[in-house]
Structure 1
Amino acid sequence: MLPGIEPLNPLPLLPAQKLTLGCPVLDRLLRGGLPVGSVTEIAGESAAGKTQLCLQLLLAALLPPSRGGLSAASLFIHSEFPFPIRRLHALSSSSSAADPLDHIFVAAAHSPDDLLSLLAAVDGLLARPPTHLPVRLIVVDSIAALFRSDFDNNPKDLKKRSFLFFKIAAKLKEQARRFGSVVVVTNQVVDVVGSEEGANGQRVGNYASLWSSGRRVCPALGLSWANCVNTRLFLSRKDDVADDAGSSRTRRWMQVVFAPHLPEASCEFVIVREGVSGIEPQSRDLCVDAAGSGLQMAGIRRGFLGGAVVTDVGDLTGKFHGVKWVRRRSSTCTQVGSVVRPDPSDDQVSDGGEEFLSEIVPLLLGARGYL
């Protein structure tokens, strides 16, 4: 061991306090909520629910720590106009806090330099809050809007843009650590064309499974900005046709792309008048009857996908020839990580079943379900 260097237990370094998202289902997905002292990015296309979730966080911060809050005021910096005051007022009507809007401060940023000036002034707000509550939540909605039109795609502008990324992120991280705050930034997405590994062939997190509205997308601002955030959450949406009349409903999901304290996971959620709420995954197993020729090539007579939640199973029948999909509860599988493996003691699964299930499970998860 080098002189003057002692081993350090990393467990006490993990953030102890977290901010609830205002929904127990979403809190379980994030192991309690958003951690203090770090920067969390919420990325997604327009109407995915980013701003709705941020408004809910403003009200959640007012809750006492016993209910997952911070007993704190919030600062909301918006670059998208106008500020959604009517929606915030509607959400606040169901808040248990007294006069919640009195503890939410709002500022507008029109450019990256404008944001940097605001963040410099925020130090005084955090150190000397104007109310009896400390300011411990900072929301920037959205970071991508500030960089949409001020920079060209040339080396000089790209270098300046990256410099501003690092400067903004460094200031946000300093304020998060110094004042024990939760920092949330929203980001937009861009379409991914060509490479399966993300924009420009660069893979950051689980890009291969980022889909929204039937398009393969990735968070905007590239690799430089991805390295500036501690946690990245991705919100996706899909319009499903609900009946023969052509009416549709929108389904939404929250996915953990990367985080130092979380595994990859996802959860469906809805946006209602009262706010953003997660949907409890149903406990259903899926039985695959592989009597058809499409699965005989894989050397399987029957396999079970335990723990998968799949809706509209009939949509998948056309992907294999002669395959019958039946919902059935089964105990013949053990779950290992993200791959469902058949129990070796089950004589209904022949050799090669594990390889086949390893290929099928990601398809099912990407289509409709979760493990």
Structure 2
Amino acid sequence: MITEEEIAKQQLPAVTTAADLLLLAQKLPTGCPNLDRFLAGGIPCRSITELVGENGAGKTQLCLQLLLHSQLPPSPSASAFYISSEPPLPLRRLQQLADSFLLHLPPSSRPSTPLDNIFLHSVQTADDLLSLLHRLDPILPRLRLLVIDSIAALFRSEFETSSTDLVRRSNLFFRIAGKLKAQATRFGFAVVVTNQVGDVIGVETGGGGGFRPLVTSGRRVCPALGLSWANCVNTRLFLSRSQECDFRISDLNQTRTRRRMQVVFAPHLPSDGSSCEITIDRHGVHGLLDSGL
């Protein structure tokens, strides 16, 4: 028979409180109610969300929108950090979105100077990025969003295809992702990274690793950096675009660009490849949900 003294000496098992679970479920709003609905509340905090797509699909546009909306209640004094690997920094577009952002908010909810709370920094290599992440501790308690645009550009030309370089590249993947996840988990902010795509040659599926084929502009594509990087992100969203005839005008030779956001994988979303149409205008990125959603 176990005595009370022996029970008292036993260590309690690790437990999670209801308050902890609520914190883990927090989402960063996108600035569009339809996109928030499609994403079950927005971009999850305390994890890495990847936006993958070809040039012009809307990845950077959505990142800039997130930088602004990360400052809304319940965190009106929060800051955001944008790390760019492909200059120039999109300052003119950010200012345009900031003007629209303030115009559409009620006076009581408007941050006084939203651009003052957005920090911008450029990096050239993956080692530069890792070094920067180790120096961010002083601003992390106020951070609500960290963006890396794009992760693929940092690995584009620095590494060869030798086994030694591939091992070094994978190690950098895991070190960068591990640092990001540790910081995001500790301080509760969201991490968003953008990634590029490459054409699929042969009969391989577009997603790789058993994922559904990905198609954009009539091409089968797969995300850059391969399966090792795919294992480093928690959520992958694919932004695609296509050219279609515009039947709203009489000239059938005229086309318009249609864009879609598709869930490739996400622990908090259905894994059925669901998608929604998105549009981009001077005010930002907007979702157009199907009537059945």
Alpha-carbon separation, structure 2, partners of 1:9 and 1:74: 28
Alpha-carbon separation, structure 2, partners of 1:98 and 1:256: 35
Alpha-carbon separation, structure 2, partners of 1:235 and 1:222: 17
Paired residues of 1:44 and 1:236 also in contact (CA < 8 A): yes
Aligned to 1:159: 167
Letter in 1 for 2:276: C
Secondary structure of 2:135's counterpart equals: helix
Q: How does 1:281-296 map to 2 (within 5 A)?
A: 281-282=290-291
Paired residues of 1:144 and 1:221 also in contact (CA < 8 A): yes
**Is residue 2:170 matched to residue 1:170?**
no
Post-superposition offset of 1:178: 1.1
Q: Which runs of 5+ in 2 are unaligned?
A: 1-9, 103-110
**Is residue 2:92 matched to residue 1:83?**
no
Bigger Rg, structure 1 or 2: 1
Aligned to 2:133: 119
Letter in 2 for 1:184: V
Post-superposition offset of 1:4: 6.7
Selected match of 1:272 from 277, 281, 286: 281
Q: How does 1:1-371 map to 2 (within 5 A)?
A: 13=21, 15-65=24-74, 71-96=77-102, 97-127=111-141, 134-198=142-206, 202-204=208-210, 206-208=211-213, 210-242=214-246, 244-264=251-271, 265-282=274-291
Q: How many residues align?
A: 269
Letter in 1 for 2:198: V
Post-superposition offset of 1:161: 0.5
Alpha-carbon separation, structure 1, partners of 2:147 and 2:77: 16
Percent of pairs with identical residues: 57
Secondary structure of 1:173's counterpart equals: helix
Deviation per residue, 1:310-362 (Å, 9 max, x gap) = xxxxxxxxxxxxxxxxxxxxxxxxxxxxxxxxxxxxxxxxxxxxxxxxxxxxx
Q: What RMSD over aligned residues (CA atoms) do the two structures have, in Å? A: 2.1
Deviation per residue, 1:240-261 (Å, 9 max, x gap) = 1225352211100001111111
Alpha-carbon separation, structure 2, partners of 1:173 and 1:26: 24
Alpha-carbon separation, structure 2, partners of 1:84 and 1:260: 31
Please give the TM-score of this superposition, normalised by the length of structure 2: 0.86
Secondary structure of 1:175's counterpart equals: helix
Post-superposition offset of 1:80: 1.0
Secondary structure of 1:207's counterpart equals: coil
Alpha-carbon separation, structure 2, partners of 1:31 and 1:198: 26
Paired residues of 2:38 and 2:289 also in contact (CA < 8 A): no
Paired residues of 2:101 and 2:283 also in contact (CA < 8 A): no
Alpha-carbon separation, structure 2, partners of 1:237 and 1:70: 34
Q: Which runs of 5+ in 1 are unaligned?
A: 128-133, 284-370
Alpha-carbon separation, structure 2, partners of 1:268 and 1:70: 30
Q: 1:91 to 1:29 in 2, by over 3 A?
A: same
Letter in 2 for 1:89: Q
Alpha-carbon separation, structure 2, partners of 1:51 and 1:10: 37
